[in-house]
C-alpha cells in the first residue's frame, strides 16, 4: 500500500511537469538489443526462445525499451513510465527485478534546459520522499571525449580509449599498454588489414552489428593508416589518469579544470562544453563532480548523475544522444532521462 501511494505521488509530479505516460514493451528482440545497445546488456539479460525460434528477452532497461517504442512512433517526445526491469548481476545478493519510475525527453531541443529539468524534477521528488539529507553527484562523459580528442596520439589509440571508457578494468589495461608503447601485435594488425580489403568488395550498405559496411571501413581505414609506434604514451597516460582523479564540489570545478589544463599545457578551451554542469548551481543543492563517474553504462554521452541518501542510490540518469540512432533512427536524436529506483525507497 505504501509503495502504491508513493508511486502515485511520483507520477503526479511527473504529470505536473508535462510528462505523458508511455508503457514500453516487456518482451524485446534480444539480438536487436545486443547488436545495437552495447554488449553490457548481453550478460544481464534474461533470454528465451519463442515458439518461432526467435530469441527474446525481458527488458533489461526501461530507457532502451522506451526508445524503441518512441522510434515506432507509439509515444510522445516527453514521457514517463512505470514498470519493472529485469537484469542479472554478478554481485552476490543482488536483486533481479527492479521497480522503476522514470522520465525521458526525446528530441531534446535545449540541452542545458532539458538536462536541468530532468535532474531538478528527480531531485525535488527525492527531497519530498526521503526525510534525510539528499546528495547528488555528477559527471560528464563528453568532457573525457574532449580531453582524448585534444591529446596528440594516433587515431587508433584515440578511438580505442573512447570506445572502451565504459569498461574500467579493460580501459586500465589499455592505459598500461599505451604507457609501455605496446600497441597491437603484428598478427592482429595484418589480420585487420586483410579483412579491410575483403570488406571493400562487399555490399557497402549491408548492416553488420548495427553498422553499415561503409561505416566499418571508415573506421578500419583510420586504424590501418596509423603508425604502430608511439613515443609519448607515458605522458598521455599521466594526463588521462590525472583527469580521472578530479573529484570536487561543483563550485570548485572551474578552478580544478583550469589548474589541470595549465599543468599539462593543454588548450584552454578543451572543456568549453560545461554549460549543463554549471547550470546545476541553480539547484540550491551541493553537487559533487566526479570525472570518473558514469562509466558503467555504454550509451551515456554527456551529463550523468546519481541521487542518493544514506549511501543508497535513489535515482540516476543522464544524456544519451547516440542511443536512438544505434536503435535505428536515421540520425542522432538528442535525449536525456532518469529513473527512480523504487527498490531503494
pLDDT in tens, 142-185: 999 999 999 988 888 899 999 899 888 999 999 998 888 765 54
β-pair partners for 92: none
- Amino acid 109: pLDDT: 85
- Amino acid 284: pLDDT: 84
Give CA–CA dist 254/328, Å, rounded.
38
Nearest to 285, CA basis, from 300, 302, 305: 305
- Amino acid 96: pLDDT: 85
Contact 66, 75 (CB under 8 A): yes
- Amino acid 209: pLDDT: 66
Give CA–CA dist 10/95, Å, rounded.
22
- Amino acid 33: pLDDT: 76
Contact 316, 338 (CB under 8 A): yes
Q: What is the DSSP string of 45-63?
A: --EEE-TTS-EEEE-S-HH
Nearest to 70, CA basis, from 337, 302, 295: 337
Q: Which residues contact 171 (CB under 8 A, 6 or more apart)?
A: 161, 164, 165, 295
Q: Is the pTM of this model over 0.95?
A: no
- Amino acid 190: pLDDT: 59
Supply φ then ψ for residue 290, to 5 degrees: -130, 115
- Amino acid 186: pLDDT: 46
Q: What is the pLDDT of residues 199-229, one digit of tens each?
A: 788 888 888 766 788 888 777 766 555 544 5
Give CA–CA dist 150/163, Å, rounded.
16
Query: Domain spanning 1-131+333-345: which CATH class is it, in words?
Result: alpha beta
Domain layout of the chain by residue ranges: 1-131+333-345, 153-243
Nearest to 260, CA basis, from 273, 247, 249: 247
**In three state form, how does the secondary structure of 144-201 look?**
HHHHHHHCCCCHHHHHHHHHCCCCHHHHHHHHHHHHCCCCCCHHHHHHHHHHHHHHCC
Alpha carbon of residue 259 to chain centroid: 27
CA angle 315, 317, 319 (to 5 degrees): 165
Give CA–CA dist 29/18, Å, rounded.
31
**CA Rg value for the chain:** 21
- Amino acid 1: pLDDT: 40
- Amino acid 321: pLDDT: 94
Identify the segments of the chain with pLDDT beneath 50.
1, 185-187, 227-228
Amino acid at each position: 500500500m505504501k509503495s502504491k501511494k508513493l508511486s502515485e505521488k511520483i507520477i503526479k509530479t511527473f504529470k505536473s511537469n508535462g510528462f505523458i505516460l508511455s508503457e514500453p514493451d516487456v518482451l524485446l528482440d534480444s539480438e536487436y538489443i545486443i547488436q545495437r545497445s552495447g554488449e553490457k546488456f548481453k550478460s544481464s539479460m534474461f533470454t528465451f526462445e519463442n515458439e518461432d525460434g526467435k530469441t527474446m528477452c525481458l527488458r533489461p532497461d526501461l530507457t532502451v525499451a522506451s526508445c524503441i517504442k518512441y522510434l515506432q512512433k507509439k509515444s510522445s517526445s516527453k514521457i514517463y513510465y512505470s514498470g519493472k526491469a529485469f537484469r542479472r548481476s554478478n554481485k552476490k545478493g543482488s536483486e533481479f527485478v527492479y521497480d522503476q519510475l522514470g522520465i525521458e525527453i526525446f528530441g531534446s531541443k535545449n540541452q542545458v534546459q532539458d538536462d536541468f529539468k530532468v535532474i531538478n524534477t528527480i531531485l525535488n521528488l527525492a527531497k519530498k520522499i526521503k526525510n534525510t539529507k539528499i546528495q547528488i553527484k555528477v559527471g560528464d562523459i563528453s568532457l573525457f571525449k574532449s580531453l582524448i580528442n585534444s591529446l596528440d596520439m594516433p587515431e587508433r589509440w584515440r578511438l580505442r580509449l573512447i570506445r572502451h571508457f565504459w569498461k574500467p578494468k579493460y580501459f586500465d589495461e589499455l592505459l598500461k599498454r599505451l604507457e609501455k608503447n605496446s600497441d597491437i601485435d603484428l598478427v592482429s594488425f595484418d589480420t585487420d588489414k586483410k579483412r579491410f580489403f575483403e570488406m571493400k568488395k562487399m555490399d557497402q550498405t549491408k548492416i553488420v552489428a548495427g553498422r553499415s559496411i561503409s561505416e566499418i571501413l571508415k573506421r578500419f581505414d583510420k586504424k590501418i593508416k596509423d603508425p604502430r609506434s608511439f613515443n609519448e604514451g607515458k605522458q598521455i597516460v599521466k594526463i588521462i589518469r590525472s583527469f580521472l582523479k578530479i573529484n570536487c564540489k561543483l563550485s570548485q570545478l572551474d578552478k580544478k579544470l583550469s589548474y589541470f589544463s595549465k599543468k599539462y599545457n593543454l588548450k584552454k578551451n578543451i572543456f568549453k562544453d560545461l554549460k549543463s554542469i554549471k547550470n546545476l548551481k541553480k539547484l540550491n543543492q551541493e553537487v559533487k563532480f566526479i570525472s570518473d563517474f558514469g562509466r558503467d553504462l555504454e550509451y551515456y554521452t554527456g551529463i550523468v548523475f546519481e541521487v542518493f541518501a544514506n549511501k543508497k542510490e535513489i535515482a540516476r540518469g543522464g544524456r544519451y544522444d547516440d542511443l536512438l540512432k544505434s536503435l535505428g533512427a536515421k540520425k542522432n536524436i538528442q535525449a536525456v532521462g532518469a529513473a527512480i529506483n523504487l527498490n531503494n525507497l
